[in-house]
Amino acid sequence: MVLSLNAQVLECVDAGMDSIGGTSKRIVYWYLAQKRSITRDGIVDDPNAFIDALKTLFGQGAGILERTIIRQLRQTFNVTFGENLTEVLALVRRKDSSTAADTHLRTGSTKSSLED
C-alpha cells in the first residue's frame, strides 16, 4: 500500500520524536492538541506552529528534535537542501508534485497535438 505524502511525512515526524521516548512524544502531541489546537495531522500544514510548540516545551533542545526530524525527511524523500523544517517540507511537496506530474505524463493520459 502506498502511503500519502502527509502520512509519510508524519511517519518521519514520529520517527524523529521517538528520540525523546514514547511517553514524551505522547505528551508533546497532547500539548499540541490541548494548548495549541494543533492535531498531529496539522503538523504538516503548519510546521512553524509545531516548532514554536517544541521551543516552548524544550527550549534550545527543540533544535535537536527539529534536526532529527529533518534527517528522517531527507532520508525518506532524498532531499538534500533546506535549513529548517518548513523549508524541507516545501521541498518535499515540490518534489512530490513534480513526481506526480512525471507519472501523469508517462501514463499517456494527456493527448498530444498530433492526435487532434
Residue 74 lies in a domain: yes
Number of domains in the chain: 1
Residue 34 lies in a domain: yes
Residue 111 lies in a domain: no
Residues 28-79 have pLDDT tens digits of 999 999 999 999 999 999 999 999 999 999 999 999 999 999 999 999 999 9
Residue 110 lies in a domain: no
Asked if 52 and 62 count as a contact pair (C-beta separation under 8 A), the reply is no
What pTM did the predictor assign? 0.81
CATH label of the domain that carries residue 76: 1.10.1200.200
Listed range (6-20, 21-35, 68-82, 100-114) with the worst mean pLDDT: 100-114
pLDDT band of 101, cuts 50, 70, 90: low
| Nearest by Cα to 85 from 61, 101, 69, 62 | 69
Asked if 85 and 69 count as a contact pair (C-beta separation under 8 A), the reply is yes
Asked if 53 and 36 count as a contact pair (C-beta separation under 8 A), the reply is yes
Instruction: Identify the residue with better confidence: 4 or 111.
Output: 4
Please check the confidence at residue 108 and state whether its pLDDT lies above 90.
no
What pLDDT score does 2 carry? 57
Q: Residue 26 sits in which domain range?
A: 5-104
Instruction: Identify the residue with better confidence: 114 or 11.
Output: 11
Q: Which three cell numbers stand for residue 97?
A: 508534485
pLDDT band of 116, cuts 50, 70, 90: very low
Residue 109 lies in a domain: no
How many Å is the Cα radius of gyration of the chain?
A: 17
- DSSP letter string, 20-71: G-HHHHHHHHHHHHHHS---TTHHHH-HHHHHHHHHHHHTTHHHHHHHHHHH
